[in-house]
Homo-oligomer: A and B are copies of this chain.
C-alpha cells in the first residue's frame, strides 16, 4: 500500500457545475477509484499550509500537487517528510519543490512534461492581443454604461507589423511564434542557449538573437517561455527591463518569480512597459495586496493578469 497525498485546488460548487474539472479536490484527477482498487490510500486536501498539511506530508510516500495551487515543498518540509519518495506535478514545472534538497534526499520529482503546452501558448497569444488591442478598459466601458472610443483607441494597436520575441525557444515559445506568424509581424525573434535547426527556423520564420539584451532592444512584444531556474529567477529586474524598447508589452506565462514584481509595476507606471500580462505569480494564490493585481500604465490600463489557469483549461485536463 502506498500513501498518496494529493493537493489540488478546491472545486467547490464549480466541481458540480462541471464534472470534467478533474484537477480539483472533489474530482481528484480521477485517481481515487483506480488507486484504491490497487490497494493504495489517497488523502486529498487543498490546505497546503499549517500543521495539518505538515502532518499529512510526514505520512505521505507520494505527494501530487499542481502549478495552479502549488504545495510548496521547501527544504524544511522535505527534511521532515521522512516517508516521501516522489513529488509529482500534475502539470508542467516543479519549481515549487526545492530540487537540490529533493536530490540530496533521493526524492524523485516528476512532471507531466508537454501536457499543456498548447493551452499555455494560446493563453500567451490571447494576452498579447488583449494588451496590444487594449481590451480591458474597453470591456469595462461596456459594463459601466459608457461609450468613449477615443479613450481606448488612443492606446489600441495591431500586432501586425510588430517585432515579437520569445525568451526561450522551446515547446511553448515556438508554438507561440507559429501562432502569431499569420498576423504578419515585422519579425519573429527568439533567444535561447540552443539554436533551433535551420529548417525549423525557416519553417517558423524566426531568427535567433545571440544576446538577450540585443533582442529586447528590438522587440515590441516580448513573451517569456523559459523554465524557472536559479539563473532565471528575478531575471526581469529593473536593469534588464531598462534594456527593452520603451513602451513594449511583456507577457509572462512561465513563472512569476522570473520577474521582479516591484520592478514590473514601476516600469508600467513609468511607461517603460506599456502593458504586462500573464497568469503566473509568486506566491500562489497571490495575496490580495500583490502589486500585479492593481498596477496599471498611465492610462489606467495595460494589465492583463489572471490567476494561474492557462494550463488547466478543460481541454488541457482531458
Contact = CB atoms under 8 A, between A and B. Distances in A.
Contact of A154 (B21, B125, B129, B316): B21
A171 interface: no
A182 to B, nearest CB: 5
Centre residue among A24, A143, A156, A179 by max chain B CB count within 10 A: A156
A266 to B, nearest CB: 19
A306 B141 contact: yes
Interface string A23-48: 11000000000000000000000000
Contacts of A12: 148, 150-151
Interface in A113-168: 118-119, 122-123, 125-126, 129-130, 133-136, 138-139, 141-143, 145-161
Interface stretch (A55-63, A75-83, A190-198, A285-293): A285-293
A298 to B, nearest CB: 8
B306 A139 contact: yes
Q: How large is the interface on A (under 10, 10 to 19, 20 to 34, 35 or more residues)?
A: 35 or more
A213 interface: no
17 contacts: A15-B154, A21-B150, A69-B149, A118-B160, A122-B160, A126-B133, A133-B310, A136-B139, A138-B279, A139-B305, A147-B307, A149-B307, A153-B317, A155-B314, A156-B312, A158-B313, A179-B183
